[in-house]
Homo-oligomer: A and B are copies of this chain.
Amino acid sequence: MKSYQEMTKEELLQEKEALEAAYAEIKAKGLSLDMSRGKPAAEQLDIAMDIFNVLDETSILKAENGTDLRNYGVLDGIPEAKQLIAEMVGTKPENVIVYGNSSLNIMYDQIARAEIFGLCGNTPWSKLDKVKFLCPVPGYDRHFAITEDFGIEMINIPMTEDGPDMDLVEQYVNNDATVKGIWCVPKYSNPQGIVYSDETVRRFAALKPAAADFRIFWDNAYAVHHLYDENQAEILNILEECEKAGNPDMVFQFCSTSKVSFPGAGIAALSASPANIADIKKRLTVQTIGHDKINQIRHVKYFKNMDGIKAHMKKHADIIRPKFQMVDELLKAEIGSRGIGSWVNPMGGYFISFEALEGCAKAIVEKCKEAGVVLTGAGSPFPYKKDPKDSVIRIAPTYPSADELKEAAEVFVTVVRLVSVDKLLENK
Q: Is A28 an interface residue (CB 8 A)?
A: no
> Do A101 and B292 contact each other (CB < 8 Å), given the known contacts A49-B60, A149-B283, A286-B149?
yes
Once bound together, how far apart are the Cα atoms of A74 and B294, in whole Å?
Answer: 22
Once bound together, how far apart are the Cα atoms of A258 and B289, in whole Å?
Answer: 11
How many monomers of this chain does the complex have? 2
Across-interface contacts of A105 in B (CB, < 8 A): 287-288
- Contact mask for chain A residues 3-38; partner B; CB cutoff 8 A; 1 contact, 0 none: 000000000000000000000000000000000010
Once bound together, how far apart are the Cα atoms of A145 and B126, in whole Å?
Answer: 21
Q: Which residue from B42, B102, B149, B264 sits with its C-beta under 8 Å from A294? A: B264
Q: Is A70 an interface residue (CB 8 A)?
A: yes
Q: Is A100 an interface residue (CB 8 A)?
A: yes
Once bound together, how far apart are the Cα atoms of A293 and B258, in whole Å?
Answer: 13
Q: Is A90 an interface residue (CB 8 A)?
A: no
Contact B289 A292 (CB under 8 A): no
Stretch from A108-116, A216-224, A378-386, A419-427 at the B interface: A108-116
Once bound together, how far apart are the Cα atoms of A115 and B258, in whole Å?
Answer: 30
Once bound together, how far apart are the Cα atoms of A68 and B100, in whole Å?
Answer: 20
Q: Which residue from B100, B102, B104, B150 sits with its C-beta under 8 Å from A101? A: B100
Q: Which residue of A40, A105, A126, A264 has the most chain B CB atoms within 10 A of its CB atom? A: A264
Across-interface contacts of A286 in B (CB, < 8 A): 108, 142, 145-146, 149
Q: Which residue of A68, A73, A265, A295 has the most chain B CB atoms within 10 A of its CB atom? A: A265
Once bound together, how far apart are the Cα atoms of A71 and B263, in whole Å?
Answer: 5
Q: Which residue of A73, A101, A290 has the most chain B CB atoms within 10 A of its CB atom? A: A101
Once bound together, how far apart are the Cα atoms of A261 and B154, in whole Å?
Answer: 44
Q: Is A369 an interface residue (CB 8 A)?
A: no
Q: Which residue from B60, B70, B264 sits with its C-beta under 8 Å from A70? A: B264
Contact B265 A292 (CB under 8 A): yes
Q: Which residue from B57, B104, B290 sits with its C-beta under 8 Å from A264? A: B290
Contact A49 B39 (CB under 8 A): no
- Contact mask for chain A residues 89-106; partner B; CB cutoff 8 A; 1 contact, 0 none: 000000000001110110
Across-interface contacts of A258 in B (CB, < 8 A): 72
> Do A52 and B60 contact each other (CB < 8 Å), given the known contacts A116-B116, A265-B70, A288-B108?
yes
Q: Is A235 an interface residue (CB 8 A)?
A: no
Nearest B residue to A112, CB-CB: B112
Q: Is A291 an interface residue (CB 8 A)?
A: yes
Across-interface contacts of A288 in B (CB, < 8 A): 102, 104-105, 108
Across-interface contacts of A275 in B (CB, < 8 A): none
Nearest B residue to A297, CB-CB: B265
Once bound together, how far apart are the Cα atoms of A101 and B288, in whole Å?
Answer: 9
Once bound together, how far apart are the Cα atoms of A102 and B68, in whole Å?
Answer: 18
Across-interface contacts of A112 in B (CB, < 8 A): 112, 116
Across-interface contacts of A116 in B (CB, < 8 A): 112, 115-116, 126, 150
Across-interface contacts of A150 in B (CB, < 8 A): 116
Across-interface contacts of A287 in B (CB, < 8 A): 104-105, 108, 146
Binding site for B on A (CB under 8 A): 37, 39-40, 42, 45, 49, 52, 55, 57, 60-61, 68-74, 100-102, 104-105, 108, 112, 115-117, 126, 142, 145-146, 149-150, 258, 262-265, 283, 286-295
Enumerate the 10 nearest inter-chain pairs by beta-carbon distance, A residue then B residue, closest first: A265-B294, A72-B263, A45-B70, A105-B288, A102-B288, A108-B287, A149-B286, A70-B262, A101-B292, A100-B100
Known: A100-B100, A264-B291, A264-B294. 13 other contacts (CB 8 A): A49-B57, A70-B263, A70-B265, A72-B263, A72-B264, A101-B291, A102-B288, A102-B291, A104-B288, A108-B286, A116-B116, A117-B149, A292-B295
> What would 17 A/B residue contacts be, using CB atoms closer than 8 Å?
A40-B71, A49-B57, A69-B264, A70-B262, A100-B291, A105-B287, A108-B288, A112-B116, A115-B116, A116-B150, A142-B286, A149-B286, A264-B294, A265-B293, A265-B294, A265-B295, A295-B295
